[in-house]
Structures are given as C-alpha cells and as structure tokens.
Structure 1
Amino acid sequence: MVERVGHQLPQNVGFWTGTIESLFSLVQMLLIIVYGRIADRLGRKPVLVFSLAGIAVASALFGLSSTLWQMIVFRCLAGLFAGSSVTIRAMLSENSTKATQAKSFGWFMFARNLGIFFGPALGGALANPASQYSIFQDVRFFEKYPYALPGFVSGAFCLSTAIVSYFCLDETLPSRSSAAGPPPPETTTRELLKAPGIAIVIYIYSHVMLQALAYTAVNPVAQYTPIHLGGLGFSPKLISLALALAGASQALWMLLAFPYLQRRTSTGTVLRGCCIAWPFMMACYPILNELRRADLQAAFWTLGAVCTFFGSGVAMSFACVQLCLNDVAPSPGTLATLNAVALTVNSGLRAVAPVGMTSLYALGIKGGWLHGQLGWIILIAMAVMLNVSVRWLPERAEGDLHHKIKVVGDEER
C-alpha cells in the first residue's frame, strides 16, 4: 500500500511502514491514560463503544487514502481511539474470579494472536479487488481506491462489535451509588504509581513486553538472513510455515497448559519458569545457525522443532504479567488506570523497540560481529536481566490460589 498509494520506491517502503506504525503507537501512548481515567470514572462500556466506533471510522478512511500523508493522518486518527485495549482488559478481570482469570486471559491472548495471524492475510486477500477478482473488474471505485475494501471490512468488524457491545454488554465497573458509605477519594496516577508493588510490577510487565517485541522483530529477519551471515537461510514460504507452527504452539500453551499450571502452582511460579526459558530460547538461534553451517540437517530440524514447540511456551509470560497487574491494583476503581499506565509504556516500547533491535541485528550482520550473532547475544542478556528483576515480584502479585484458599479457611475458623 505504501509503495502504490504513497508512490514510494521499494527501498523506502520499510521506512515509511515503520514510521506510520510508530506514529500510531505514539498517539496511542499519549492518550491511553486519559481513557483509563475516564473508564475508572464513567465506566468501561462507554469508553469501549466509543473507541470501537472511532476505530471503525478510522479504518474505513485509511482504506480510502490516496496519498502517503493521508495514510499517516488516518492511522494517527485510529490511535486517538485507543480506549478499547484498556477497557477490555479491565472488563475481563472484573468478569473473572481469581480461579478463572487465567483461563479468561488465556483465551484473550489466543484471540489476539488469531487477529494478528488472520488480519494481514484477510487484508491481503481483499486488497486491490479490481485486479484479483473478476466480479470487481469493472468497478471504477475499487480501481481508484484499491485498498478501500479491506478498510471497509475492518471497519465493519469494529462497528459490529461496537453495536453488539452497546446492546448486549453489561457494565462491569461497580456503581458508586450502590457502594456502602461515601465513595473513596479518587487516586491520582502519581499516587497509584507510589502504591505498594505497583512500580516493580509495571517494570516487569514492560521488560517482558520489550523482550517479546525485540524477539518478534528479529525472528523473521534472522530466519531470512543467509546462513553464512549468521541466519537460517529460510525461504519466505518456510518462514511463513515456521511462524504458523509457532503460533499454533503458543495457542496450545495458552489454552491448555497455562490455566492448569497457574491453578496448580501460581502466577509467579509460571512467570519465573518462562523467564528461565527465555534465554535458552534466544540461544537456540546461534546454535541452529552453527548446525546449518556444519550441514547437520537432522540435528538442525530436530532442535528447531523442539525449540519451536517448547520455546513458544514463553508466551505464557504475557498472560502472567497481566494477571500480576490485576492482582496489585489497589481497588477496582484504579484497574483501568493501572492497565493504561502499563499499556502507555508498552506503546512507547512498540514505537522504538522493533526498529532499534532490528538495527542492532543488522549492525552485527554487517560487521560480522560475534559470528553475526550480536542481536541474539543482546537478547540473551536482556532475558538474563529479566530473571533478576522478576525476583522482586511482590507477594500480592504471586497469584497463589492455594495460599489464598488456606488464608480464607483460617479466617473462617
């Protein structure tokens, strides 16, 4: 789209694509705390419906872009309606119990991954319909706006969700009028950050997300990079297959393993296990490159399959840090604001981490440093540091259901 609509040379497409998405994240970062405060004051449902309706309009307009600057403006417009990411997390937490929230957020992460996987595929299938499908061949509108159809379909999804939410979704924020006694004073964002356990949990959340963003950016680049430069030398089709298998493995871990492990142990235990696995997962790539260099095909494919399946289990850390956030929230009235603060940091990281990490990886490849493995060495070091920071996870964020049940039983006796 950037090349055709924005009239850019192929070598500039990557730059402008990254710039557009970074600006979207920047706008989102500036407003997401505002949405969190509004959701904690007025309710989750109004913010969710408003945000979804706004994204529906912005998506349709983005598909109608005819210049690069229109693409930038309409993508930034979508960032103005960033409230859905905050409210959906708060509503999921409020619709779950301590015993069921692991399963709830496991499905949430699974649904998000489905969108990430099928969204681009659907967009590509609907793009330029006048050339792809005979039924649209003589439709001048689609000849003039080749990306209008995916924009309209995306907008229709959001609009239908907004309508269903308006008519069928119940408000989850407890009513202030129904609470006994006078309402508690509102907590400012600064006061919230000073509450016990909040700062360290937000840091751990951010570290996990930084690790994930950096890995997600480098992974396909490393798979495509030629073997003699330090990569795996995969074809585009093989990269797609590898990413699909990793996504399927993540789904199995999130839907089947995570609820069971969290219920049998604790959120903190699962998180620490994932943190231990992160550096080993990162280390697989330099080892796989050496196996490819030595032409040890059987060992390469065996280790690759093992790393893909077991390494995908680190995706459970995303749900873990979300549950940790929910558990340390001082009150239901601060849950959306707390999530907004965490997502603000995440948006900032999303704006800089992918381009920063791929640049470091490219620098290592270009200079031949550490056999072309500079990027992976940095990721391994980041993962080791994550293991250090998670040691300070507060007790309130541990999510130990057995301990809570025991405490309640002792109090009843």
Structure 2
Amino acid sequence: MADHHRTGLKGADDGKVHQLTENELLDESTPLLTANPGISRTTTVCEDADEPDTRINGGHDDDSSEDDKPLPMRQMFFLCAARLIEPIAFFSIFPYINKMCQENGNLKDTDVGFYSGLIESLFSLTQMLVMIFWGKAADRLGRRPVLIFSMFGVTIATSLFGMATTIWEMIVFRCLAGVFAGTIVTIRTMISEHSTSKTQARAFGMFAVVGNLGILFGPLLGGVLAEPAVQYPGVFKGIPFFERYPYALPSFVVGGIGLVITIACALNIEETLPSKILASRGNSDETAPISSPKPAMSTWELVKAPGVAFVLYTFQHISLLAFAYTAIAPVAWYTPVPLGGLGFSPLEISLFMGFNGLSQAAWMLLVFPPLQRRIGTNGVLRACATAYPLFLGITPVLNMLLRNGSPTAVTMFWIIAPAIMALGCGVAMSFTAIQLAVNDVSPSPQVLGTLNALCLALASGVRSFSPALFSSLFAIGARTQWLWGYAIWVLLSILGFGFTLLSRRMPDYDELRRQRERKTTANGVAARI
C-alpha cells in the first residue's frame, strides 16, 4: 500500500500535474491552511496572517458543526464576572470624586469640575496608550495570563485610590488603573473565541448586560460607602483611619470584590488563544505535530486589511455618539425647562437612568439575538442607524411639551417620555452589533486581540475628550439659547445621520471570507509547488 501511487493535481496554476502519494492526496477533508497534510487540522489556526483563517472562532473544517457548538456557559459566567470589575471600578468614584478633589486640593467650587474631569480624561488617555500593547500581549502570551494580570492590577490600583490625599496622588492612582487596560480587550476577544456565528449575538448580549450592571452598582457602592464616619457614625465614628481616609472604604470594598473575582477567574478560566491550545495539546499528544505560528500582522498591516479601517471608523463614530449622549443626558434632564432641559429632580434623574438601563438590558437580552440571526449584523446596524437621529431628537420634543405648561401637556409628557425612552434605548444594540462586525472583519484569529485593542484604544481616545466637549457645548447652547437651547441636539442628530450613511456602506463579511479563502487556497497551492 505504501508503494501504491495515485495521481492528483498539484500546482494547478501552472498547469503541471504532479504525482502524490496516498498520504499526500488532497481531498475534501484536507485543511486548506495546513502546509503538510499529515498535520492535524486543528493546527491550521496557527497559520500566519498572510494566510488568514476564515473561521474566527476556531479553525474547524466543518463549518456547520462549528456553528452548532454550544456556548460554554461556565466559561461565560466567569468572563462576565470578570467584566464586572472594570465598570464597577470606573464608576464607583463618581459619587465622591468632586468632593474628594475639593478636599484634597483645597479647591474653589468653580475649579472642582476641571480637576475631576482632568482625572477621568487622563485615565482614558492612559488606556489609549497601553491598549494595543495589551492586545498584542494577549495575542503572543495568551489570553488567560493577560486577563488575570490586568484584573489584579486594576484591583490594586482601585484599592489605593481611596487613600490618596493630594490631587497628584489621585491622578497617579487613577492612571495606574488605566495602565491595566488589558481586562476589557481580553474579555471581548475570549468571548469571540468561545462563540460561533450562531451564539455570538447571545454571548455579546450577556457581555453588554453585565457591563450595565457594573455601571449600576459601581456608583451605588461608591455613594453608600463614602465617608463612613459621617454616614454611619454609630459604627465608624472615632476610628482614626476612616476619619483620615474618608474614601478608603468604597475603594477597599470594590478592590475586595475585584480580588475575589480575580481569584475565581484564575482558578476557572480556560485559555482560548488557538496557538496556546494547540501547544498544550501537542505536549499531551506526541503523535500530533504542531506547526509553529508565524509572525502576526503588524498594526499597520491589520488596518490595511480589507474592511478593517471602515469598521474601525464606524466603531469610533458609534462610541462618539454614545459618550456624547451619556455626558449630556443627565445634565439636560437636570437643566430647567426654560433653558431647554426637562427640570428633573435628582430622584427623577436616577429613576430615569435606572429605567434606561433596564430598557437597554431588555433590548440586548430579548431582542438583539433573534434580530441578529434574522437580519444579520449589518441589518441590525442599519436599523439602529436609522433610529439614532430620531432618538437624539426626542429631548427637544419633550421639552416643548413641558414648555407648554398646561396640565394636558404635562400629562402627555409623563405618558410619552418613558415609552419613547424605552423604545429609543434599542439603539444600544448598535454597540454590540459593531463588536460582532469587528469579529467578522478580523483577517485571522491570531490578530483578533490586537484588533480589539486597537478599537478600544481609539475609543478611549474619544472618551478622553468627548464628555467635556459636549457638556461644554450644551452649556453654551443653554446659556445663549441658540436655536431655543436645542443646538446641541441638532448637532448630535447630524452626527447620528452620519452613522446612518455609514451603515449603508458596511463591508460584506461573506465576501471578505470568500476572498480570504481564495487567497488561502492560492497560497496553499503555491506552497506545494
């Protein structure tokens, strides 16, 4: 049998026919990316980025069986738990950062906003500078070690923040938390690698909902636990440590939560980087030779890959809309009605924010997964992009009702406002849909971490300036009453319409996959000549 030969095509591009032994025969089960047919098909995910693997989630030849792979819920549980750390750590300081700045810096009331904004801007800028480093580290060293190390770093930095006694210490500790920005990018990448085209919508829907929970509980912990000697004198009054460091308790509690989650994840989370998985299999199975991964694409090569630059820009455009609205909405709700706001009390603002959070969770859990399966990622983006300008125009309409002042108009406001807000929160699906677009446009699983890092680095840059910019523009519009105080909403609606145009030009991911398949096949044939 070993001496028996069959004839097969090899190097079809030059028209030559070569003799292949039976062990070399190409058939429908031979992996396209394997340089040697004797190599296990699971090693094909380690090929270099110039020979992209068209299967983002694995490297299996049988696409239907790969798509039918169930979502590993145990791993998803721990990844979602890890997801909680970043928003809780980020938002927990919001209730007390202004007072902390004023006390630590002996600031005037008019200077507090500048320094609190500076601290958050520097945090975002720090994240922008290190995000790509963490993405490349996750692609090279593995997802799991980068995730655990980043989680531990964020935990320590967050714990230290509450003990700062000067503005500079606050900046240093906050920027130190920004240095450990590998958490969010690595979690996104690992969820991508755990999910398939059929389960990714559900997986990232869970990711988004857990992020919203962190945004909800972070400020709650910070507000309830800050200044314990003042809020709970029966328990903490007379304890020198908490009187000297009034903001240490919320930092310690948030840090403790982070430490528990970090330890749990260290014990339970599995590696998802394809080359590391294959290396571990190779160590336990000497009969399965492993092809060593070749150098990955550079960042510039990644940006120039088909469709990547356009998706990157669209990601940042959506981020800009989200950050701008998040910064403006609470201010607009608080601003008096004659100036263009809604005149809400703090309680009404908190209720509205909680209602919006629940509405977004409902859209992400109940609507997004089946909708994405039915109309696709680009279809969801187009639907959200169509609704975005309308959603951003809601507040002026509601203000007009309140400006009318009649009992009927006010009653209509309280009937219409919650319903419109609940429906409008559906645009939040665009945040998850664009993440799926990033996964789909990635040229190779080997660079998915770097691509996610690049997206989030740019988003951190956008977040570093957009809240201050749009809040200032809102204040100018309210003070000058240009366009009756609605100028900022006109600007945001124009930006929303820009997203509408972008959504009509999103790449065809199936065509990109076919292009990668053709290139892979051509490279594979050339390698055999």
| TM-score, structure 1 as length reference | 0.94
Moved more, 391-400 or 25-34: 391-400
1:375-397 deviation line (CA, Å, top 9, x unaligned): 10000000001111111110118
Question: Which residue, 425, 428, 440 being the options, matches 1:315?
Answer: 428
> Could you tell me which amino acid in structure 1 is paired with residue 188 of structure 2?
R
Return the alpha-carbon distance in structure 2 between the equivalents of residues 397 and 242 of structure 1.
Answer: 41
Q: What do the CA deviations read for 1:250-270 (whole angstroms, capped 9, x no partner)?
A: 110011111111112211111
- Does 1:19 pair with 2:132? no
- In 1, distance between residues paired with 2:431 and 2:301? 26
1:244 maps to 2:357: no
Query: CA offsets, 1:106-138, max 9 Å, x none?
Result: 111111111111101111111111122222222
- Which residue number corresponds to residue 162 of structure 2? 63
**2-structure distance, mates of 1:71, 1:162:** 24
Match of 2:370 in 1: 260
Structure 1 residue 192 displacement after superposition: 0.3
CA 1:303/1:92 → structure 2, altered by over 3 Å: closer, same or farther?
same
Which of these residues, 111, 132, 147, is aligned with residue 247 of structure 2? Answer: 147
- The reply to whether residue 166 of structure 1 matches residue 276 of structure 2 is no
Letter in 1 for 2:319: M
1:6-26 Cα distance to aligned partner (Å, 9 max, x none): 332233222111110000000
Q: Bigger shift: 258-267 or 320-329? A: 258-267
The worse-fitting range, judged by mean Cα deviation, of 163-172 and 85-94 is 163-172
Task: Provide Cα deviations, 1:300-333, integer angstroms capped at 9, x if missing partner.
Answer: 2222122211001111110000110011111111
Alpha carbons 1:269, 1:398 under 8 Å: kept: no
> 373, 379, 397: which one pairs with 1:269?
379
The answer to whether the 8 A contact 1:324-1:397 is kept is no
Distance, in Å, in 2 between the alignment partners of 1:41 and 1:51 is: 15
Q: Which digits, 9 at most, give the CA deviation of each residue in 1:26-64, with x for residues without a partner? A: 011000000000100110111111111111111111011
Does 1:290 pair with 2:400?
yes
CA deviations on 1:210-245 (whole Å, 9 max, x unpaired) are 001001111111111111111111111111111111
Q: Unpaired runs of 5+ in structure 2? A: 1-99, 283-288, 514-529
Q: Does 1:390 align with 2:503?
A: yes
SS at 1:5's partner residue?
helix
SS of 2:102's equivalent? Answer: coil
Q: Does 1:90 align with 2:203?
A: no
Amino acid at match of 1:186: A
Between 1:262-271 and 1:102-111, the stretch displaced more is 262-271
| Letter of the 2:176 counterpart | L
- Does 1:226 find its partner at 2:326? no
- State, as a whole percentage, how many aligned pairs show the same letter: 50
Report 1:7-406 matches (<5 A). Answer: 7-133=106-232, 134-175=234-275, 177=279, 181-295=291-405, 296-396=409-509
Question: Residues 441 and 512 of structure 2 are in contact (CA less than 8 Å); yes or no, is this contact kept in structure 1?
Answer: no
CA contact (8 A) 1:268 1:397 kept: no
User: Could you tell me which amino acid in structure 2 is paired with residue 291 of structure 1?
Assistant: L
**Alpha-carbon separation, structure 2, partners of 1:397 and 1:25:** 35
Whichever of the two has the greater Rg, that structure is 2
* In 2: Cα distance, 1:304 partner to 1:399 partner: 42
Q: Distance in 2 between matches of 1:242 and 1:264?
A: 31
Asked if the contact 1:109/1:254 (under 8 Å) is kept, the reply is yes
Between Structure 1 and Structure 2, the one with more helix by share is 1
Shift of 1:399: 12
Corresponding residue for residue 45 of structure 2? none
Question: C-alpha separation between the residues in 1 aligned to 2:101 and 2:347?
Answer: 23
| Residue pair 1:282, 1:376 contacting (<8 A) in 2 also | yes
Deviates more, 1:182-191 or 1:26-35: 182-191
Shift of 1:182: 4.3
- Taking the aligned partners of 1:399 and 1:98, their CA distance within structure 2 comes to 15
Question: Contact 2:396–2:486 at 8 Å: present in 1 too?
Answer: yes
- How many pairs are equivalent? 400
What SS class does the counterpart of residue 234 from structure 1 fall into?
coil
SS in structure 2 of the partner of residue 98 of structure 1:
coil
Q: In structure 1, give the amino acid aligned to 2:130.
A: L
* Aligned equivalents of 1:158, 1:8: Cα separation in 2: 32
Higher mean C-alpha displacement, 143-152 vs 124-133: 124-133
* SS of aligned partner of 1:12: helix
Q: Deviations over 1:266-321 (max 9, x none)?
A: 11111111111111111111111111111211222222122211001111110000
> CA–CA distance in 2 between the matches of 1:291 and 1:325?
41
Instruction: Classify the secondary structure of the residue corresponding to 1:31.
Output: helix
- Give secondary structure in 2 for the equivalent of 1:392: coil
Alpha carbons of 1:213 and 1:377: their partners in 2 closer, same or farther (altered >3 Å)?
Answer: same
1:403 aligned partner: none
- Letter paired with 2:205: G
- TM-score scaled by length of structure 2: 0.74
**C-alpha distance 310-207 of structure 1, shift in aligned 2 (>3 A):** same
CA distance in 2, matches of 1:329, 1:251: 27
Q: In structure 2, how many angstroms separate the alpha carbons of the residues matched to 1:399 and 1:57?
A: 43
Match of 2:504, SS?
helix
